[in-house]
Chain A
Amino acid sequence: MPTKLFRRGMLLFATLLATLAQADLKLNMTRGVTDISNEVYGLHMLIFWVCVVIGIIVFGVMGYSIVMHRKSRGAVADNFHESVKVELLWTILPAIVVIAIGYRAFFTLEKMYDFDDSDMTVEIVGYQWKWRYSYLGGDAAERVTYFSSLATPRDQINGLTTKGENYLLEVDEPLVLPIGMKIRFVISSADVIHSWWVPQLAVKKDAIPGIVNESWTHINEPGTYRGQCTELCGKDHGFMPIVVEALPQAEFDTWLAAKKVETRKLAELTQKDWTYDELMELGESAYVKNCAACHQVDGSGIAGVFPALKNSVIALGPVEDHIDIVVNGSRNNAAMAAYGAQLSEVDMAAIITYERNAWGNDTGDVVTPVDILNYNAGQ
């Protein structure tokens, strides 16, 4: 054996291990903040140690052989090559270990499947590339529904500014939940398969179009818990995080009441008189948030994949066609969703106004929220 090379290799490996040890690293699963997450952590550690013990035994025997049974040490090969007793032993013993772990896992799994008897229900819908949360129950006119999108600025992603502490794990509007209550989730998707995961709650469920899935949680401690989408869903799969803000009951109630007031206020905003500048300002930020992922910040799209809006037939043509495609989506390409179902009239009016006037498009057209309302009402 080339010992020099071997030694150098070992040195490199040791250096890497040392780097590993010193770097600020989270190396294990979180215990989390729910009873279930703690049970899951316990199962994880149990099976982990079982594997470590088996590994030490097996690799230990092998290591012993490698040292003591070398030909260069004068070892002469024995000639035993079968034993029914031994085969039975190392079939039955591992089977017992495995069954024991399975038995313990059964009870945790049963609890994870007990969705019923909850105190509230939250509807979670996955979109490309954001989540929509809806608090079910109560008066339909006051139902709090909102989208939750990545809030990390593009500049950080492109390396133009330093990355924040919660880089890629921050959203504009977190899911706010009360602690100490059983919360049921009903989960689905509006386009492709996504998956909603918050490690500290140990909740992960796929969001599948056309199908409703259930899950539940009961959060023990207030705090902020961050997760990510865990099913490949297209280009921004890595950019649709989840943030759960768990509040004590009283604070949650206050928050929810305030949100309901906001919902009513939005209806009023729709009727207000908007100026060109106000629409352009809101339009730019709404465009960046909702449209730039595909059509790009400068409106140039991606050749062959996402059409350009700068100088485009839609942005320069009849206003009605432009409203149609934003509200109803594209007939030919499922990737252009029907934003009428996702955005408020205020946002859509602002975005369309912006698209018709930015990047040199300069049509001078102004589309107000009332225009959108009227369009929807069919006038």
Chain B
Amino acid sequence: MTTTTDHHDHDHEHHGPAKGLTRWIYTTNHKDIGTLYLWFSFAMFFLGGLFAMVIRAELFQPGLQLIQPEFFNQMTTMHGLIMVFGAVMPAFVGLANWMIPMMIGAPDMALPRMNNLSFWILPFAFAMLTSTLFMTGGAPNFGWTFYAPLSTTYAPPSVTYFIFAIHLMGASSIMGAINVIATILNMRAPGMTWMKLPLFVWTWLITAFLLIAVMPVLAGVVTMMLMDIHFGTSFFNAAGGGSPVLFQHLFWFFGHPEVYIMILPAFGIVSAIIPTFARKKLFGYSSMVYATSSIALLSFIVWAHHMFTVGIPFAGELFFMAATMLIAVPTGVKVFNWVTTMFRGSLTFETPMLFSIAFVVLFSIGGFSGLMLAVAPADFQYHDTYFVVAHFHYVLVPGAIFSIMASVYYWLPKWSGRMYNETLGKTHFWLSFVGVNVTFFPQHFVGLAGMPRRIPDYSVQFADINMISSMGAFLFGASQLLFLFVVIHTIVAGKKAPAKPWEGAEGLEWEVASPAPYHTFTTPPKID
């Protein structure tokens, strides 16, 4: 065919999506798979959130009222695993699937069948992981960081299923990452040069490289655990010449880049939304790209800041402190760039913008506590206390999760062809904003005052703050039901949305109709 504009897209379509349930099982369409990932992640968010409610209910008052310590440890472990691997990561992959092809003018992902497999592994893996709650000995109870030998010699029988589930999730992530890289490298429309790529595409490209680099390390670690538990090896068992500290090095070599994997796509989302609602180009585009790349590179050499109290030699401790403090610099650069984008713009405050502004402020607060944690001598007082819990929840909840919510409000019109109700959206925002701060801000204090992590009961001087934190958590949890309602209501009964509902929006995705046609850019668009 000789035509090159997208007006003729529908001429080339012989069919829309298949009918019935099998559509979702066999689909190789990036939009369908994106939708599957996003709904799956939403369900996991509620499941992980349910566990958090159980945790905060027990911690509402000192004493053991509702559950026993063994079960509490299962709740904290499962909450972490499900949120990290089931809610945050799949949500970002879902967004990548939906948006990257459209943003670069490609018809689909590079490897559509592998894309389907990458998704369908997940419900199976998580069904298996969740089923461990009902097994003898209970679910994994050794923390989402599963240090040996608590997770090897002293683990419940369900640890084997845990290992299997991790392998599956890892395989899913690696395949997804390969797909993202192959797509971005090979399928950009002519004229879509590197420095024209939307920042969401850049951040996902870098995230994909991080995933490929570190998920195999995680797979290696859990395989070594499996060998130790079942096949008599001693990787992490001191009795046979191994070392529990080796476990920590290997785990955190994965674990630190993992947390950047969970935040870089968020940076990309916020870099798309703020310029739209400021009606002003993103400030410092190339700087943002370099900053993101520096963060990714630096993320490989800071892992032992999770191990400051393990007894690593002085020289090592010093190096990791220095490298960790350094990583604050490019992160700061990004924050300054977002604020400068807003400065002297023409701002409106629709729900996506509210979430994005809250992201910048609250993620920065999480970054500040991270900088404090980086100071190794001080970390001896912070490590394994609620100060750390406050830090990572600030960067993950009003950080990653808020960016995901922002992206849902921002792109839902494109996905569903309908507008969400702005009043309800703003209500969801304010309830979540208050909830998240009331839950996690006080945790800084109770951590400084000496409350350790992962305890089901605490001494009485921590009681008032824990009660406040729990109330915030219940508020935050309940507010997400409103979010669910908003999403469903939009899809079912929202007002019809135009192709470009946001005045200041830029990007190829806004040039196709809302809802986006099943196949878009089957012929590449012309980029100027």
Residues of A whose CB lies within 8 Å of any CB of B are: 1-2, 5-6, 9, 12-13, 16, 19-20, 23-30, 39-40, 43-44, 47-48, 51, 54-55, 58-59, 61-62, 65-66, 69-72, 75-83, 86-87, 90-91, 94-95, 98-99, 101-102, 105-106, 108-110, 112-113, 156-159, 163, 165-169, 191-193, 195, 197, 199, 202-206, 208-211, 213-214, 227-239, 302, 304-305, 334-335
Contact = CB atoms under 8 A, between A and B. Distances in A.
Contact of B378 (A9, A19, A43, A195): A43
Contacts, number: 318
A9 B346 CA distance: 26
Identify the interface centre among B150, B376, B383, B454: most chain A CB within 10 Å of its CB: B150
Contacts of A20: 442, 464-465, 468
Contacts of A157: 63-64, 457
22 contacts: A27-B445, A28-B445, A55-B368, A58-B364, A59-B364, A61-B339, A62-B339, A81-B281, A82-B285, A86-B284, A90-B336, A91-B329, A113-B317, A193-B149, A202-B381, A204-B309, A205-B311, A229-B452, A232-B142, A232-B147, A239-B457, A304-B136
B359 to A, nearest CB: 12
A81 B280 CA distance: 8
A40 B457 contact: no
7 closest A-B pairs by beta carbon, nearest first, are: A210-B238, A238-B455, A230-B384, A51-B368, A23-B464, A213-B311, A26-B449
Given A59-B361, A76-B346, A231-B384, A195 B309 contact: yes
A159 B65 contact: yes
Given A27-B445, A61-B339, A210 B328 contact: no
A51 to B, nearest CB: 4
A157 B66 CA distance: 12
Contacts of A82: 283-287
Contacts of B330: 91
A105 B348 CA distance: 44
Contacts of A44: 372, 375, 378, 381
A5 B63 contact: no
B347 A109 contact: no
B63 A158 contact: yes
B64 to A, nearest CB: 6
Given A69-B347, A208-B311, A211-B244, 13 more contacts: A19-B468, A24-B461, A25-B449, A43-B378, A47-B371, A65-B339, A87-B287, A98-B326, A158-B63, A192-B150, A205-B309, A230-B385, A237-B73
Nearest to B156: A305
Interface of B: 62-65, 68-70, 73, 136-138, 141-143, 147, 149-150, 153-154, 156, 238-239, 243-245, 278-287, 309-311, 314, 317-318, 321-322, 325-326, 328-330, 332-333, 335-336, 339-349, 357, 360-361, 364-365, 368, 371-372, 375-378, 380-381, 383-385, 423, 426-427, 430-431, 433-434, 437-438, 442, 445, 448-450, 452-461, 464-465, 468, 471-472, 504
A103 to B, nearest CB: 10
A238 B150 contact: no
B450 A199 contact: yes
B63 A163 contact: yes
Contacts of B471: 16
Contact of A40 (B68, B381, B472, B504): B381
B380 A69 contact: no
Contacts of A25: 445, 449, 464-465
Contacts of A27: 445, 448-449
B472 to A, nearest CB: 8
Contact of B368 (A40, A54, A236): A54
Given A66-B357, A90-B333, A80 B346 contact: no
A233 B147 CA distance: 9
Identify the interface centre among A55, A168, A214, A335: most chain B CB within 10 Å of its CB: A168
Contact of B450 (A12, A72, A228, A302): A228
Contacts of B328: 94, 98
Contact of B431 (A9, A48, A208, A304): A9
Nearest to B376: A109
Contact of A5 (B73, B343, B427, B442): B427
Contacts of B309: 195, 204-206, 230
Contacts of B459: 166-169
Contact of B333 (A47, A54, A91, A101): A91
Given A78-B280, A101-B375, A192-B150, A69 B311 contact: no
Contacts of A236: 69
A95 B243 CA distance: 36
B72 to A, nearest CB: 8
A127 B244 CA distance: 16
Contacts of B438: 13, 16
A190 to B, nearest CB: 11
B340 to A, nearest CB: 8
